[in-house]
Structure 1
Amino acid sequence: MSAIKYLGGLKAYLARGECVNESSVFRLHYQFTVVVLIGASVLLTAAEFFGDPINCITGLQNNVVNTYCWIHSTFTIQDYYLRERGLQAPEPGVGPPDGYDEDTIEAKWRFHNYYQWVVFFLFFQAALCYIPKFIWSSCEGGLMKTIADGLSPGLHKEDEVSSRKKVIIDYIVKHIRMHNGYVFKYWFCELLCFVNIVGQLFLIDRFLGGEFLTYGPRVAEYTEMDQSERVDPMIYVFPRMTKCTFHKFGPSGTLERHDAFCLLPLNILNEKVFITIWFWFVILATLLGILLLYRIALLALPGLRPRAMHKHNKAVPIETVEAITNKTSIGDWWILYVLSTNIDPLIYRDIMTKLSKEIETANSNNPYSSAGLYSSSSV
């Protein structure tokens, strides 16, 4: 029951923070994906719910053979995957080998030892998914939380809110065009998310012996095939029944070979876990790819920025948004864009209206304004 309580505790990690300074897709990467991976690792670790991880049938002491086969891996024989179950083979991939010479073993035997490392591998994947968030939190330094603090009318007095609005406006005007590093560091972390997910698809493929990249399409294709012709790809990647060869000395000192027929009950869960991971990683990689293209468009097409900001918070007139966007850099635009998700919409409208006037005043009083210091030509 402790494992179930631990899984329930993961819900708290999914909660939205007090101050949001990243996109929802970014949060899916470091929150939801991490919870899925750690949850799967905990679930597979809770062996008391599923019995022994391996159970081998042989004439010897089962506990000895079970331990040996778990440590030294089991195998299946490729020739027996296409034979009729119950007539030509007891289970897919299981049957008497043609020989024990090195060439036969290398050509026809398929060894399975990944199951020893699945729980550790899933935890390692979760750690990789959290790295972009760790980097971003270190770079961000709590700037957005500091800016947005005190701008909730329900929790602060009106004079305090007014004072905080003036502080933000003064801060933006004073530090105008000094926030490009902020946005580029964050977008770099989003790029890391995309690289991480795509890289993990290939990493899992290597971990599962080159069977993972095509795993999802083969499972989908399997459901549409004729019952008499199809071979479950999940059994091929995660066999439920395997063989194991155990060697020992006989009473006279002769080397004896014992074939064991091994049941791997955890593979029932492993196949479900990894098919879920396959579809989720493909979906997440697609979302991250679309997000990166959107970021490139925002960088290359400045005209998209005021429309994106206005769509995000329609309480601010589009003319005000355009006036600010045309006289600030993409870093300033991003600070204001993220700020709108963390404060009251009406307070945000007041800030944007006053900020537009302050920037216009600063621009008209600037002797270099004709040179384009606050113009929209630069990033």
Structure 2
Amino acid sequence: MMLRAVSSIKVKVELKPVVDNFVFMLHYRYTYIIYIMATFLTTLYDAIGDKIECMSGIDSDSFGDVVNNYCFIMGTFTVDRLHGLQTGRQVPHPGVGPAEAEDSVTYHAYYQWVPFILFVQGVMFYVPHWLWKVWEGGLFKHIIQDLSVRDYLGNNLGNYFNKEQGFKTLAKYIMRTMNGHRMWAYRFFFCELLNLLVVVATLFFTDWFLGGEFLTYGANVFAVASLDPENRTDPMTYVFPRMAKCTFRSFGASGTIQVRDVMCLIATNIINEKIYLFLWVWLVLLTALTALWMLYRLLTILLPPFRNLLLRTHVNPSVRKELQNILRRTTLSDWLLLYSLAKNMERSMFSEFLLFLHGEMQQETQDKVALKQSLLNEDFRHSDGKGKRENELPY
């Protein structure tokens, strides 16, 4: 049943008009799906056998079940001193052996929480996207109308023949809302920053969850990958032990307390160690890529020439002069809107729109000049010919 559920997951890819970018999608689409699939994999106990199986030493299924459940709930432990010893000669398994009074031990009780933690972390990667969708409210999709790549290059050729009407509506909107999208832009920048905060928080929380071993987990695994398996300490068996010890106490036949020091096979760690190795690689790359993207975002915010140069790469060379004239009247939020339009519109279509927008802006400027001149002429006609109004008193 669980395998069928995993196989039913599909990634829906469409050329929908969106403001976000590829790095943003890595968080809410790919990382979210990776964590949800990892959650399913950690619950596939039927594929690996019992989640934990302890050698109680008593031929009783009911007693063995009690020991297994107790050790899974209360946790197992390994002896730190025994991890560096040779397996098969000095110790039966890494970290497994009799503990002395002064020995430090590491308890492993995290595995019962792994599915819950993975699910919550997956949801956290989706939160910035959800928050942006709530704040944005479909505004950009309404602004771009049917001028996006999907609509323009689709089967509906009517969008091509009606593009002039779309240009007119879009140009009128941009001209009327100049510098009116500041909150819209600031919220988007905040969601991008929130992506970085989520991935960094996930790294450090996972490190705390695994006892301070996650930040160096992948590096340690790759460092010993080429060494002889017989003479190396495998980091995966240290963080995710396959065999561990558990202390179970019960009453004997005479009523005295009997202490059983049992060894337990933690089968679920066979999957956990691979999942967290992949997550380590993914999170490290995602953190680096998101940090670089936020550096890029900071440059676009602080350097107007840089963001104008970015927009020039999305237009035909023949309209770059008109684009420069348009950018002289725009702010950061206006640039983000134009840049989002450029990413979602076909290059020639966006270039045509810029020509139309530039013409509308020039016409608006000419209308304002004509109106101002008309007002001046009207004022002159009501004057006495010497620059004074008739109802004004001489000095």
Q: TM-score, normalised to structure 2's length?
A: 0.86
- Alpha carbons 2:42, 2:268 under 8 Å: kept: yes
What residue number does 1:373 align with? none
CA distance in structure 2 between the aligned counterparts of 1:314 and 1:280, rounded to whole angstroms: 37
Q: Corresponding residue for 2:127?
A: 131
Distance 1:315 1:143 in 2: 30
Code of the aligned partner of 2:92: P
Alignment of 1:1-379 (within 5 A): 2-12=1-11, 14-16=12-14, 18-60=16-58, 61-99=63-101, 104=102, 108-151=104-147, 152-153=151-152, 154-157=155-158, 158-225=160-227, 229-314=231-316, 317-363=319-365
> Contact 1:182–1:331 (CA<8 Å) still a contact in 2?
yes
Identity %: 36
SS of equivalent to 2:313: helix
Structure 1 unmatched runs, 5+: 368-379
Amino acid in structure 1 at the alignment position of 2:85? R
Asked if the contact 1:306/1:318 (under 8 Å) is kept, the reply is no
CA positional deviation for 1:225: 4.5
Residues 3, 46 of structure 1: 8 Å contact kept? yes
C-alpha distance in structure 2 between counterparts of 1:228 and 1:262, whole Å: 22
For residues 102-147 of structure 1, give each alpha carbon's deviation from its aligned partner in whole angstroms, at most 9, with x where no partner exists: xx4xx51110000000000000101111110111111111011112
Cα 1:191–1:223, aligned 2, differ >3 Å: closer, same or farther? same
Counterparts of 2:124 and 2:83 in 1: how far apart (Å)?
A: 35
Q: How many residues align?
A: 359
Using the TM superposition, give the Cα deviation of residue 274 of structure 1 relative to its aligned residue in structure 2, in angstroms.
0.7
- Partners of 1:234 and 1:208 lie apart in 2 by 12
Higher mean alpha-carbon deviation, 340-349 vs 302-311, is at: 340-349
Post-superposition Cα deviations, 1:221-256, rounded to whole Å, max 9, x if no partner, equal 222546565211111100000011110000110100
Q: Distance in 2 between matches of 1:16 and 1:222?
A: 42
Whether the 8 Å CA contact 2:79–2:96 is kept in 1: the answer is: yes
Structure 1 residue 262: deviation in Å? 0.5
**Offset at 1:265?**
1.4
* Residue 324 (structure 1) shift: 1.8
Note closer, same or farther for the CA distance 1:146–1:253 as it changes in structure 2 (3 Å cut): same
Q: CA deviation at 1:62?
A: 1.8
RMSD between aligned residues: 1.9
| Letter paired with 1:222 | V
* CA distance in structure 1 between the aligned counterparts of 2:189 and 2:234, rounded to whole angstroms: 41
SS of equivalent to 2:215:
coil
Q: Which amino acid aligns with 1:79?
A: R
TM-score normalized with structure 1 length: 0.89
- Paired with 1:335 and 1:8, the residues of 2 have a C-alpha distance of 38
Cα distance in 2 for partners of 1:62, 1:244 equals 13
- Aligned partners of 1:316, 1:194: CA distance in 2, in Å? 38
Runs of 4+ in 1 over 4 A off after TM superposition: 224-229, 313-316, 363-367
Aligned counterparts of 1:290 and 1:338: Cα–Cα separation in 2:
20
CA contact (8 A) 1:327 1:359 kept: no
Structure 1 residue 292, shift from structure 2 partner:
0.9
Paired AA for residue 5 in structure 2: Y
Q: Which amino acid aligns with 2:107?
A: F
Q: Which has the larger radius of gyration?
A: 2
Offset at 1:343? 3.0
Q: CA deviation at 1:70?
A: 0.6
SS at match of 2:162: helix
